[in-house]
Structure 1
Amino acid sequence: MLHALRRIRLSRAEWALIGVTAIWGATFLIVHVSLEYTGPWFFVGMRFLAAGLISALVFHRVLRGMRWRELAAGSAIGVTIYLGYGLQTVGLETIDSSTSAFITALYVPLVPLLQWAVFRKAPTKMALVGIALAFGGLILLADPGSVGLNWGTGETLTLVSTLPIAAEIVLIGLFAGRVDVARVTVVQLLVAGILAFLTMPVVGESAPAFSWVWLAAAIALGGASCLIQLTMNWAQRTVSPTRATIIYAGEPVWAGIIGRLAGDRLPPIALLGAALIVAGSLVSELRPRRGAQGADDDPADRAPQAEPQGAR
């Protein structure tokens, strides 16, 4: 076992994904509090519009060279962000967080299936083992004993949201290395925010009364979303969608750690789930040895290689 652990080496990109996953885990409490002051689509719109504007200010110099490929890639990813975050947030109005987490965990096994369909390459055996461990850990972390699946609109919307959540991860892997990271990040965040605002009149949601709570939360989450999406776009140039998904599965683990620091106590079954997620992340990094040369990575679990700069 110790010998196997010595073979685990995390790249800078993987460490970066672990970092933004920790930030991701810290956002849940902010969203939960904000929904007491605003409707879901308005808040999703404010969050991603703020993120898009922040990223546009930071990367304004590179936006002049925007290409149609980057507009298309950013728009496609933005649609998945809008649908994933939007539907999940609407679902949280009528179901509790445990039920939402239980259903949302289904995106974990969806990613390798979508990656297989898009890239025509099956994930490695160790990656599949890691996916299984992470999925099982998420189910335990959601505390299935407290989940009430009296199926209704909230459960249905949350279930549907798992598909765009998985599609976002796969699309980022598909476009990684073929587009400018900063330009695509700006486009996808603005598209997600604008689409959320356009949804408000369709579903009959009105703008809330002004509150410093939702404004401060939107700006704070906007900055976090900018950092998270930028890092995802950069890191998945070398990290496969399957591997990235296992890292992202650690989001509720970080949320639990932050909650513990705030005074919450996780039940034993949740601690077991967190351990399984960490184990899944470690196991997926293992590679079987090939002859005397050691453990070479299986290309099936690699993200697409970046194009030469001259091909842009």
Structure 2
Amino acid sequence: MKYRFMLLITAIVWGGGFVAQRLGAECIGPFTFNCCRYGIGALCLVPLLLSQKQTSSPAVPKGLSLIKACSLLSVLLFAGSGLQQIGLAYTTAGKAGFITSLYIVTVPLLGLFFKHPLRLSHVIGCAVALWGLYLLAFHGGTSEPLNKGDMMQLAGVLFWSCHILTVSRFVPHFSGIHLAAGQFLGCCLINALALWIHGETLSLSSLTAAAPALAYSGILAGGVGFTLQILGQKKVPPTEASLLCSLEMIFGALGGVLFLGEWMTCVEWLGCLFMTIGIFAAQTGGRTVYRPR
């Protein structure tokens, strides 16, 4: 039970991260925020790094190294989190949480390229979740198109999905802690370059204003959340673990209502319900309808 509780806490912390990111977007630029956020996250993992030694699996593919693995993960993390952070300036924390959670539906679909089987539950879950997305992101079912923030969150789903699939390829060969710390550090450096190219201005007053959001995103959502996820997934089956972690979308929406006053219309809440059903359905077992060769 305690391991499931760890994953529930992880979902709560990650859900609150959308609120912190939304507040941070009001104070500093997106690349500055992510640079500081992942830098803090990497520092939080130093104690765990010091407590274990990196041992590579003897089955590591030729030409693959920890540095190459972390570099690729850093690029995917930079793209996904960058689109998410920029988009949060134009949409709500609740919508961002639900749209981002679509990666749970898209991962099985993209997994076809890695010869993963496609189950009937994936197809049904995807259809239901997309209907929910229409109700949620089209602002109460009107003909108004997706706004800029919603589209960025949706584009980010592709990179989050690729990131998850890539992690699953590297985890058998390298320590999860080393991969996490490496990708956090790499993402911090890429964001530092991006903020310089983009010309984002830094000031003590803006960093001070964003400090609480940065501390939450870096320490809690990054360091603590990731650590609890690792500990929890050791004893909880993958399907159940993903369901528990996906509750972050619900806690993100609740956090937006409680702390940001981001109330939704009845139709938008209905869209959230359909997305929740679709995402949960995609994680259940079922008959295989297609197996790539």
TM score, norm. by length of structure 2: 0.75
Task: Work out whether residues 256 and 266 of structure 1, in 8 Å CA contact, stay in contact via their aligned partners in 2.
Answer: no
The question of 1:79 aligning with 2:78 is answered no
Q: Deviations over 1:232-265 (max 9, x none)?
A: 567499637xx87766654332222334555955
Whichever residue aligns with residue 135 of structure 2, its letter is L
**Structure 1 Cα separation of the partners of residues 218 and 194 of structure 2:** 19
**Structure 2 Cα separation of the partners of residues 283 and 12 of structure 1:** 25
The question of 1:253 aligning with 2:243 is answered no
Distance 1:221 1:261, change over 3 A: same
Distance 1:110 1:168, change over 3 A: same
Distance 1:184 1:162, change over 3 A: same
Greater RCO between the two (CA within 8 Å, min separation 6)?
2
Q: Partner residue of 2:48?
A: 58
Q: Deviations over 1:203-251 (max 9, x none)?
A: 12122334433223212211211234445567499637xx877666543
Task: Work out whether residues 109 and 132 of structure 1, in 8 Å CA contact, stay in contact via their aligned partners in 2.
Answer: no
Distance 1:142 1:246, change over 3 A: farther
Q: Partner residue of 1:293?
A: none
Distance 1:200 1:283, change over 3 A: closer
The question of 1:225 aligning with 2:222 is answered yes
The question of 1:49 aligning with 2:39 is answered yes
Whichever residue aligns with residue 22 of structure 2, its letter is H
- Secondary structure, counterpart of 2:66 in structure 1: helix
Question: How far 1:166 sits from its partner (Å)?
Answer: 1.5
Task: Work out whether residues 15 and 249 of structure 2, in 8 Å CA contact, stay in contact via their aligned partners in 1.
Answer: yes
Mapping of 1:104-253 within 5 angstroms? 107=103, 109-118=105-114, 120-142=115-137, 144-145=139-140, 149=145, 157-210=152-205, 211-223=207-219, 224-230=221-227, 235=233, 239=238, 250-253=247-250
Task: Work out whether residues 88 and 161 of structure 1, in 8 Å CA contact, stay in contact via their aligned partners in 2.
Answer: yes
Aligned length: 276
Question: How far 1:18 sits from its partner (Å)?
Answer: 5.0
Q: Partner residue of 1:275?
A: 273
Task: Work out whether residues 86 and 152 of structure 2, in 8 Å CA contact, stay in contact via their aligned partners in 1.
Answer: yes
% identical aligned pairs: 21
**Structure 2 Cα separation of the partners of residues 268 and 21 of structure 1:** 24
Whichever residue aligns with residue 38 of structure 1, its letter is I
TM score, norm. by length of structure 1: 0.71
Flag structure 2 segments of 5+ consecutive residues without an equivalent. 57-63
